[in-house]
């Protein structure tokens, strides 16, 4: 928050020092030409830092389509450049024409759809209904809850002209919907019999962010926001916990992300909440990414908006929660898994779980190979597996291997002329490079093939979670003094230590180390503890880390 | 379009003359109190015309909960008042705090979800991928296509302040996405091998409409917009036709709406399209409602944005389509079906297909009845039927009968103490009032009950379509002169007659009769025709009607 920063060319270079000047980022002239003239400086620099458009000219112009062509920066070399390369080359997203906005491309959007499909079912199973609130909120609404306006006012986009006329009251483009939700709840809730009221909406939201990064922080993003109203604080608390639990399960079981679940410190609590619960993911560069939050709002908004319910002639302000997961989660998935060769997607959320690459040299081999490949595709599709047959003849098999590896497809099936005669295929795991993950002679017989593929997808799903969990655990250091904390943070790790110090001291840690309290984890060590900063008694350990 | 109209109290009274002064519309004081002060006049008048909030106080305050309580205006008495009553009392939507905006409530949103679920599958089956474009569009983009800017500029909402600073270039809040889509297509499309590019997005859009009506025309609405790029005009044309065909099938087979499918006149064509195809629904008050459109965009946007593809060294502008269905369709469903008692939903899109109303008088009957009702609920739910058990003891069975009838639930099952002993239930059809639609003694045995219910749901589905088709056909008059046309329109009907006259004459019909050409229907009578206006040869008949 704080003072406004206008993105200058310098600040942009500052944000992404590693990718400026890299040759493959500099040829997207078309974008520069079509940028609106007024924003030229920013647009131009954006173009320079932008991932390149999918290189469809490659086939036509490139002389070497072999398997050795390097299209992305290795992850081990430069994590941030790797991330942006993946976004571009795996065709997950592209930059929109307005600074900080993002176009979510089909492959990236399909990951978001997998997130939606899972959560939507869970939300309904737990009694929530979907609905939709308008995105334009009267400015006066935002001002009603004191800490809410303080938190959000620097980030607002305002509509001031509608239908050609200056508006009498500025309209806020929804940064979150607590205010308008409460305005409506106040009209719908009268008696305690109207409670609990439990709703959710899938929507776009706008926050005028200065330091943007695709998926992780964009000016506009997609999310779901749940809003509930309850008769008692206990019920609201139980709801907030239930929802963070659903998010946690999704992260572990579907996305293979061993998030740390816990409670935010007072400093980091949502603007308008009593308590914020969070899931914090560790990315490949060992930063923390807040991947989902659930807020116990207390009576803060119901008091500001007069949302009351009667029972036995008594009026009482209602108790509320709100909770959200956004397209940022897609960024979390990308940054959790992957290697130098590219993305690595957990099978349960992968848009393509199996890619089939047919291989032929002579024209007379082609029909047999493609027929076999189509049959295999049909078998797997019938078994409910998301399968893609890459039968294009524009690219070599080697190019395709690299491309689909880079896109993170969990399993690859190769079918050549020899396999047609032996009625067997070669299957390679994305998570095990080279020969280690390659198995020959898997029968094409449908029941055998189906069982093998499903089994391997399960293996990959748990293997990715296991790998991420080991990585996480080897990068969290238990500390008992501030010096140890500083040491851990300077090594790029997370520090976990007892904490009962003041907000000011929390602020000092941030200033001196760049790390913030990510959460007080629900899982706490037993026994007596001493605050790492003050030496006073501490009830809990906190986790400190640098974050996105 | 044309000059801006600010909504004054007078203009609002003009729009809804029938509902002002009706007592049940005037007691929503809470809304007035919480409206932002600056917009008081508009907000207040909106409040007066607003459907009342769901009457949750009813149970607590009402003395008469019997079956005779009239909660909505009869459809036969005042269609417009009936529609607004239904929106409010069936809890489909509510007014948002900003004039012209709408909150879509769970019951209304569930109908939209049914539309989404069906279309989303069809779009994917026909090769389209979902993605997401930013909603903020640089103002300069809108100006690039001449007729597009002419069509849309009076309706734009503009963001002029972001993050506390005046923006250098105003941002348009998406009224439709052709411009930003083409900006991106220009970066993604290089060779003919990149074609066809077929995408869709589910999104909110904003149009600064002055005359709003829930679902039918709101300042912000939800829709899907498909955008495709092709190598040839034939392929684009085929795509535009394919999509209007998908919409047509949906209307007939799912929504029970016998829409007329055809081509728009030049005057009524989308701003920026070569050809617009449309499906036109006839509402219960015999107006036309444009329920979905598919546009063949030609090269209009590709020329404006320089979207070109190479083949054999040749550059050519691509050929495009766009197509959309919005939450307006929900309004179409409401206005097509229904009667004096309320809404009538086609089973395939009904959020609740069967409601179970348990009936008991003495407390010792309650357990047995509720047990049987739960069993019936479980049986139907297991069969994939959307079933609701209304076991609340706040309302009488008579009140519940009326309430769920008003909500348009296709089938009602009654279970009383006698039915528990006879192991049978009473089933009533929503589309056949009174005894005619009531059948006694349907066995609770699961296979019998399931088969009976499914069969009746199918019957209702086709019966609603049949009824709407008869209604439509009896309200379209074939005309061969302008006098006959005027006569038909003045009787509130649609007129179908040969047309080859000029745009100016089309404009004259609109001015003199209030009717516009809804479309040149695909289904055309054979043989030689003479234009109803000029007597010249005419290739086609057009359909004229007053419209929403």
SS (H, E, C) B148-171: HHHHHHHHCEEEEEECCEEEEEEE
pLDDT tens digits, B507-533: 999 999 999 999 999 999 998 899 999
Q: Structure tokens of A234?
A: 């206990």
More confident residue, A185 or B40: A185
Q: Structure tokens of A142?
A: 């935002």
> Which residue among A113, A131, A134 sits closest to B105, beta carbon to beta carbon?
A131
Stretch(es) of chain B classified as CATH 3.40.50.800: 347-471
pLDDT score recorded for residue A52: 37
For residue A39, what pLDDT band results from cuts at 50, 70 and 90? very low
Stretch(es) of chain B classified as CATH 3.30.930.10: 107-336
Q: How far is Cα A315 from Cα A335, in angstroms, rounded to an integer?
A: 49
Given a cut of 70, is residue B3 above it in pLDDT? no
Q: How far is Cα B509 from Cα A523, in angstroms, rounded to an integer?
A: 74
> Which residue among A98, A180, A222 sits closest to B171, beta carbon to beta carbon?
A98
Question: Which of B7, B46, B98, B197 would best serve as a mutation to test chain A binding (most A beta carbons within 10 A)?
Answer: B98
Mean pLDDT confidence for A191-197? 95
Say if the Cβ atoms of B141 and A305 lie within 8 Å: no
Given a cut of 70, is residue A209 above it in pLDDT? yes
Q: Which residues of B touch A53 (CB under 8 A)?
A: 187-188
Mean pLDDT of chain A: 88
pLDDT tens digits, A224-239: 999 999 999 999 999 9
Q: Which residues of A touch B186 (CB under 8 A)?
A: 30, 34
Stretch(es) of chain B classified as CATH 3.30.110.30: 476-545
Say if the Cβ atoms of B161 and A173 lie within 8 Å: no
Q: Structure tokens of B535?
A: 């007597």
Say if the Cβ atoms of A157 and B154 lie within 8 Å: no
pLDDT score recorded for residue A70: 63
Nearest to B468 by CA among B496, B495, B431, B434: B431
Q: Which residues of A touch B155 (CB under 8 A)?
A: 163
pLDDT score recorded for residue B43: 32
More confident residue, B71 or A320: A320
Distance from CA of B195 to the nearest CA of A (A): 11
More confident residue, B424 or A7: B424
* Alpha-carbon torsion (A183, A3, A47, A329), positive or negative: negative
Q: Which residues of A touch B183 (CB under 8 A)?
A: 34, 97
Q: How far is Cα A161 from Cα B58, in angstroms, rounded to an integer?
A: 41
Please say whether the beta carbons of B174 and B136 come within 8 A: yes
Say if the Cβ atoms of A131 and B101 lie within 8 Å: no
Distance from CA of A4 to the nearest CA of B (A): 7
Say if the Cβ atoms of A137 and B97 lie within 8 Å: yes
Mean pLDDT confidence for A59-77? 61
Q: Which residues of B touch A89 (CB under 8 A)?
A: none
Mean pLDDT confidence for B111-133? 98
CATH topology classification for A107-336:
BirA Bifunctional Protein; domain 2 (3.30.930)
Mean pLDDT confidence for A506-521? 98
What pTM did the predictor assign? Answer: 0.88
pLDDT score recorded for residue B64: 39
- Overall CATH class of domain A347-471: alpha beta
Residue of chain A minimizing CA distance to B210: A163
Between the alpha carbon of residue B57 and those of residues A184, A198, B54, B91, B402, the distances in Å are: 16, 19, 9, 15, 17
pLDDT score recorded for residue A152: 85
Q: Which residues pair with A319 in a beta bridge?
A: A230
For residue A347, what pLDDT band results from cuts at 50, 70 and 90? very high
> Which residue among B4, B37, B140 sits closest to A164, beta carbon to beta carbon?
B4
Given a cut of 60, is residue A308 above it in pLDDT? yes
Residue of chain B minimizing CA distance to A327: B132
Percent of chain B as helix, strand, coil, to the nearest 5: 40, 25, 35
> Which residue among B164, B171, B204 sits closest to A154, beta carbon to beta carbon?
B164
Distance from CA of A110 to the nearest CA of B (A): 7
Q: Which residues of A touch B57 (CB under 8 A)?
A: 190-191
CATH node for A476-545? 3.30.110.30
Q: Structure tokens of B86?
A: 């239904």
Q: Which residues of A touch B394 (CB under 8 A)?
A: 193
DSSP 8-state assignment for residue A538: E
Given a cut of 90, is residue A2 above it in pLDDT? no
Residue of chain A minimizing CA distance to B57: A190
Residue of chain A minimizing CA distance to B43: A138
Say if the Cβ atoms of B140 and A219 lie within 8 Å: no
Mean pLDDT confidence for B395-416? 96
Given a cut of 50, is residue B284 above it in pLDDT? yes
Q: Which residues of B touch A102 (CB under 8 A)?
A: 134
Distance from CA of A89 to the nearest CA of B (A): 12
Residue of chain B minimizing CA distance to A30: B187
pLDDT score recorded for residue B70: 62
The mean-pLDDT minimum among A18-27, A405-414, B232-241 falls in A18-27
pLDDT score recorded for residue B69: 54
Between the alpha carbon of residue A195 and those of residues A517, B59, B95, the distances in Å are: 35, 15, 21
Distance from CA of B335 to the nearest CA of A (A): 21
Q: Give the HSE-up count for residue B370: Cα atoms under 13 Å, Cβ half-sphere.
A: 11
Q: How far is Cα A291 from Cα A303, in angstroms, rounded to an integer?
A: 29
Q: Which residues of A touch B4 (CB under 8 A)?
A: 163-165
Given a cut of 80, is residue A10 above it in pLDDT? no
> Which residue among B6, B56, B136 sits closest to A165, beta carbon to beta carbon?
B6
Given a cut of 50, is residue B343 above it in pLDDT? yes
Say if the Cβ atoms of A187 and B162 lie within 8 Å: no
Given a cut of 60, is residue B348 above it in pLDDT? yes
For residue A69, what pLDDT band results from cuts at 50, 70 and 90? low
Between the alpha carbon of residue A364 and those of residues A367, A370, A371, A398, the distances in Å are: 7, 11, 12, 20
Say if the Cβ atoms of A159 and B157 lie within 8 Å: yes
More confident residue, A26 or A462: A462
Given a cut of 50, is residue A55 above it in pLDDT? no
Q: Which residues pair with B542 in a beta bridge?
A: B497
For residue A151, what pLDDT band results from cuts at 50, 70 and 90? confident
The alpha carbons of chain A give a radius of gyration, in whole angstroms, of: 26
ipTM over 0.95: no
More confident residue, A152 or A241: A241
Residue of chain A minimizing CA distance to B55: A188
Specify burial of residue B393 (Cβ count, 10 A radius: 0-12, 13-18, 19+).
exposed
């Amino acid at each position: 928050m704080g003072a406004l920063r206008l993105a200058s060319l310098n600040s942009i270079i500052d944000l992404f020092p590693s990718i400026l000047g890299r040759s493959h980022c500099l040829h997207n002239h078309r974008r520069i030409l079509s940028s609106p003239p007024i924003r030229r400086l920013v647009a131009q620099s954006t173009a320079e830092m932008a991932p390149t458009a999918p290189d469809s000219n490659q086939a036509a112009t490139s002389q070497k389509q072999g398997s050795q062509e390097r299209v992305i920066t290795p992850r081990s070399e430069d994590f941030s450049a790797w991330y942006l390369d993946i976004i571009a080359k795996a065709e997950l997203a592209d930059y929109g024409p307005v600074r900080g906005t993002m176009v979510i491309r089909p492959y990236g959007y399909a990951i978001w759809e997998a997130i939606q499909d899972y959560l939507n079912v869970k939300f309904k199973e737990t009694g929530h209904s979907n609905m939709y609130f308008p995105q334009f909120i009267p400015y006066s609404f935002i001002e009603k809850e004191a800490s809410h306006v303080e938190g959000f006012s620097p980030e607002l986009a305002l509509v001031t002209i509608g239908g050609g006329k200056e508006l009498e009251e500025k309209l806020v483009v929804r940064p979150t919907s607590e205010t308008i939700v409460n305005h409506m709840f106040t009209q719908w809730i009268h008696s305690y019999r109207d409670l609990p009221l439990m709703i959710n909406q899938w929507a776009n939201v706008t926050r005028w962010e200065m330091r943007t990064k695709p998926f992780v922080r964009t000016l506009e993003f997609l999310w779901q926001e749940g809003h509930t109203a309850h008769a008692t604080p206990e019920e609201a608390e139980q709801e907030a916990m239930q929802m963070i639990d659903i998010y946690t399960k999704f992260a572990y079981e579907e996305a293979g992300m061993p998030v740390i679940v816990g409670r935010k410190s007072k400093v980091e609590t949502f603007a308008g909440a009593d308590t914020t619960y969070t899931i914090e993911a560790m990315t490949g560069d060992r930063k923390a990414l807040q991947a989902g939050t659930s807020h116990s709002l207390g009576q803060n908004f119901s008091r500001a908006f007069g949302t009351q319910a009667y029972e036995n002639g008594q009026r009482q302000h209602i108790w509320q929660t709100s909770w959200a997961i956004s397209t940022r989660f897609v960024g979390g998935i990308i940054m959790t898994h992957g290697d130098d060769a590219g993305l690595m997607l957990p099978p349960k959320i992968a848009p393509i779980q199996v890619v089939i690459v047919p291989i032929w040299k002579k024209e007379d081999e082609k029909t047999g190979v493609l027929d076999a490949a189509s049959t295999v595709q049909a078998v797997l599709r019938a078994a409910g597996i998301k399968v893609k047959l890459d039968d294009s003849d524009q690219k070599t098999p080697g190019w395709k291997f690299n491309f689909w590896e880079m896109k993170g497809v969990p399993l690859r099936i190769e079918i050549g002329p020899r396999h047609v005669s032996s009625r067997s295929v070669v299957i390679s795991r994305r998570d095990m490079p080279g020969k280690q993950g390659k198995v020959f002679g898997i029968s094409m017989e449908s029941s055998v093939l189906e069982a093998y593929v499903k089994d391997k997808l399960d293996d990959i799903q748990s293997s990715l979670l296991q790998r991420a969990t080991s990585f996480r655990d080897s990068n969290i250091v238990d500390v008992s003094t501030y010096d140890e904390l500083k040491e851990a943070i300077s090594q790029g790790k997370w520090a976990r230590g007892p904490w009962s110090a003041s907000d000011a001291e929390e602020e000092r840690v941030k200033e001196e180390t760049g790390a913030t309290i990510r959460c007080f984890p629900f899982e706490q060590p037993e026994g007596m503890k001493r605050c790492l900063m003050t030496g006073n008694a501490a009830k809990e350990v906190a986790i400190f880390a640098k974050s996105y």
